[in-house]
Amino acid sequence: MRLTLAKASLVRHRSRTILAVLGVAIAAAMLLDMVMLASGMRESFRDLLMSRGFEIRLAPKWTLPFDTDATIADVAGVTEALRANPDIEAISPVMGASIHIPVGSRNVSSPMLGIDPSVQGDYEMVAGADLTRPDAIVANDYLLEQLGASVGDTLLVATGYDPQTRGYTGQRRLVVTGRARFIYGAAAQPGSAVRRETLEGMVEPEKRNRASLFMLRLREGAGTEEVRTWIAGELPKVSVISIASAIEVVDRRLSYFRQLALILGAVSLFVGFLLVTTLMTVSVNERAGEIAVMRAIGVSRAHVVQQIVLEGIAISLAGAVVGLALGLATARYLNTILSAFPGLPVAIDFFLFQPRSAWSALGLLIASGIGAGIFPAWRAASLPIAESLRREAIA
């Protein structure tokens, strides 16, 4: 009975119902997007760091990896010290450098990583072979496009370049053996990698036996924080960064996004509440006579309230469903725009759909819609029957 009457009321005012559903849908989409933004980049960054299984990273003291040109000295000594801990399963020292490749009259520059291919966690092979030989180089599609090169080509690569004299230093011929996707690289950023010993042979002697970063994979069941504390005591000249500490740094740098998401999410929730409240109030005022007649023939006050609340639930629920689809589409579009920000890894997402948070947010919106319908419904059902009928008759 209640459902039938609620449905009849919504259908009778079809245009108003559709507009109300669209309004709630927009509020729901905005709320969902803000929930996704509040935690999306944080969780995306966590997934990125864990994608290759390296739980701990070592960087030069007081820096983040590749934030500066600082390096960690004595790679062999640091590696030997780390191997003393049985909880450390794999050690991947990474050496960073800038390379220069002459292409006709142009100089194409690119970051280059010197790695151990057996334990590296910086790229995934797309095509071709990995760094199985000393003169091999793998590059991403963006760099190969700039060079007009492909797998199998030979490149003359230098680690030094003087733009005034157009002179190159540290040159070596390298063969492109494969195409790679660099996990931490930006979308429009060239990237390349060679074996670490190959890169060391191309740089000045004082830059050898140094690393820009160490990545450590722990054995299963090892305590990350216990290992981090042990390393900090054994190697005081490096910064020890666990996933948790890296997330803390990211949280501080992204606090603006979370605050913005919280404010806009609260605004969208409040807008949805006001929209349903206004609609229910207008609807109840228009039907004051109808409600009075129902009360006069014996329909209980609770029955009237339940019918009107059901209308609010239907509007909120329909708006939430439409808002879910609209919010996901909007988030995907906005994520494409924000992900193009220079320097951000291509794998980072600003908007990350997390079912639990999304359903909680939409459930809160529906609950606010229910609450929005209770007050005007109870107020209308509490009006004096005789007075309401008299006003209706005069009107």
Q: Which amino acid is at 73?
A: A
CB atoms within 10 A of CB 287: 18
pLDDT at res. 176 = 96
Q: Confirm whether pTM is higher than 0.85.
A: no
**Rg, the chain, Cα only:** 31
Q: How far apart are the first and last CA of the chain?
A: 28
CB atoms within 10 A of CB 66: 16
Those residues with Cβ within 8 angstroms of residue 29's Cβ, 6 or more apart along the chain or in another chain: 323, 324, 326, 327, 330
pLDDT at res. 114 = 94
**CA separation for the pair 189, 281 (Å, rounded):** 56
pLDDT in tens, the chain (395 residues): 566 666 666 667 777 778 878 888 888 888 888 888 877 777 777 777 777 789 999 999 887 777 777 899 999 999 999 999 999 999 999 999 999 999 888 899 999 999 999 999 899 999 999 999 999 999 999 999 999 999 999 999 999 988 887 789 999 999 999 999 998 887 778 999 999 999 999 998 888 899 999 999 999 988 998 999 999 999 998 999 888 777 777 777 777 777 887 888 888 888 877 877 777 777 777 766 677 677 677 767 777 777 777 777 788 888 888 888 888 898 888 888 777 776 667 667 778 887 877 788 778 777 877 777 777 777 766 766 666 666 656 65
Cα distances (Å, whole numbers) of residue 22 to 34, 76, 282, 370, 382: 18, 64, 17, 17, 31
pLDDT at res. 394 = 62
What distance lies between CA 386 and its chain's CA centroid?
60
pLDDT at res. 367 = 80
pLDDT at res. 5 = 60
